[in-house]
A and B are shown apart, each in its own frame.
Chain A
Amino acid sequence: MNIVVAIKHIPSIADDLPVKGNNVDFDSVDFVLNEFDEQSIEQAVLVKEAVGGTVTVVGVDMIGELDGVLHLALAKGADKAVKITGDDPAADSHQQAKWLAEAIKGMSADIVFVGVQASNDLDGQIGPMIAAHLDMPYIGGVSSVEVTGETATVNKEFAGGVGAKYAVTLPMVVGVQASVKPPRYAPVSKVRQVAQTATIEKVAPSGDAGSGLTFKKMAPPVVTGHAEMIEGSSKEVAAKIVELLKSKGLV
């Protein structure tokens, strides 16, 4: 079966996010793979291992640095890698979803996996939008997927362990919350080897679809309160926390 994984390369939130005008200063941030996409890639590879097929990973190359991410996906079990040469770090979810959907149209996908959300989904997640463009059903918040013939059985999580099981006639788009097993580790040596031998297919972006949102302002949130910071060495901090807990009768 043709398994497709659509991934998102997004600004890292590990560091400070500088602002330029009304948006993030994309020239001054590192881009990383959306963490939910790690789950989505793993779930796709697990389905391939269960029923056979090919896993194609496709993403928009936002800043010309997607190759490393694609090599990692290949080292983890994907078979083909495609990058859409967007080269626009400000391309929003609507635009990326349109480009991804156009690229996926030619892949005869039986099932499309996406990470359920990303920290820069300001105008919504790409999964439901890709599904709308491809006229496929979508289910997000998924934590397990089994494929039998033309049907995928997926478990969707609501909250607190409550969920529902759905049977969907393929093709469909699945928004992965968590794969059945934690993402596998790819040794650096394997990633290096893949990087030397793999071919990444390049696709020109096709289709216009901006979000239609006007950005008026982007800034760190207005803070209404702030924690009282406990300063000092770790030992001093520990002592102050224990003292605090004692004073409140919590130990």
Chain B
Amino acid sequence: MSNDILVITEHMDGKFSDVSFEMVGKAKELASALGGQAVAVVVGGGVSSNAFASDSTIHVDDASLANFNPEAYGKVIEALVKEKSPRLVMFGWTATGMDLAAWLSARLGVPCAAYVKNIGADLTMTCQAYGGKMSADVSSAGDMAIAACLAGSFPLEAGQGSTAATTMASPVSLDGLKTKFVEAIKPAGGDVDITSQVKLVSIGRGIGGKENVELAEELAGKLGATVSCSRPVVDAGWLPRTRQVGKSGLKVKPKLYLMLGISGAPEHLEGMKSAELIIAVNTDKKAPIFNVAHYGATNDLFEVAEAMLELL
């Protein structure tokens, strides 16, 4: 058992994601307190891995790892974790990290905390839960822990640097994989780009049905805004995926983000919390969005929207 902290970084199209740097920065702080090293782990090719302020960086490259493959990446990370025996393994609570963190936890019998917002010097992990309505402090009962960290939780700059990476071949055989990467999927074009809009009227589950989207469209029209939404609206088929804000959607930073019927789950906040003016209308007075919005109201969104239409 070492006092090292392993950070599983993520990259796409030759660029590391912000959460990778954020985690490396936090790992440095924690490792220094523990007397261990912050080790950045880069899996896959096509990226310059001398990008972190880590104490060391391991870059595992192999033809099978060129694109994200949960089965192959999982095997490589499992082998590295077994060899290094760190105190803590950090993943992003992201589309890729989510495939790996809980899997590794079950494989190795090591506790895992998800939705991690903060980690204390004693490795107590503070997690968001229940759609952001609760916060839990948890710690590992064992010698090792896995933390799946929410993007935007730690400062990014502290993880940026130029530590020279040590490149190595896969520590485990990648023959006979059952999972094959076929091709990348690019965003469907043809719709407005919500990331370039100055004003957004964003609707959530509270809009109630596809027939009510028209009201939001009408209000957006009067405000010179575009309609965006949270994930449940897309999953229900009420708006196309191009309009989705949040972790699995797009990150936006408009001057106005007027939210109708969105509770503000952590996944949604990740995509819009930097908007300049956030106004939220939601009937649940305890909705987490009111901890982030600048202005809020708990009135019926339909009544407010209709009354606004009369005034505009």
Contact = CB atoms under 8 A, between A and B. Distances in A.
B138 to A, nearest CB: 4
Nearest to B238: A182
Contacts of A131: 103
A52 B170 CA distance: 40
B183 interface: yes
Contacts of B12: 158, 162
A105 interface: no
A157 interface: yes
Interface stretch (A56-64, A76-84, A190-198, A213-221): A213-221
Interface stretch (B36-44, B156-164, B245-253): B245-253
A239 B235 CA distance: 33
A157 B300 contact: no
A251 B198 CA distance: 12
Contacts of B63: none
Interface in A150-179: 153, 155-169, 172, 175, 177-178
Contact of A123 (B112, B137, B304): B112
Contact of B111 (A119, A123, A226, A239): A123
B173 interface: no
A140 B299 contact: no
Contacts of B303: 234-235, 238
Question: Interface extent on B, as a size class?
Answer: 35 or more
Interface string B136-168: 111111100010100000000000000000000
The 10 closest A-B pairs by CB, nearest first: A161-B187, A124-B102, A238-B307, A234-B303, A227-B296, A212-B111, A128-B103, A132-B106, A129-B106, A221-B135
Interface of B: 12, 67-71, 94-96, 98-107, 109-115, 124, 127-142, 146, 148, 178-188, 199, 223-224, 232, 234-237, 241-242, 247-251, 255-256, 258, 263, 265, 277-281, 284, 286, 288-300, 303-308, 310-312
17 contacts: A13-B263, A97-B106, A121-B114, A121-B115, A123-B114, A125-B102, A127-B102, A158-B95, A161-B187, A161-B250, A166-B181, A177-B248, A218-B134, A227-B289, A230-B297, A234-B304, A238-B306
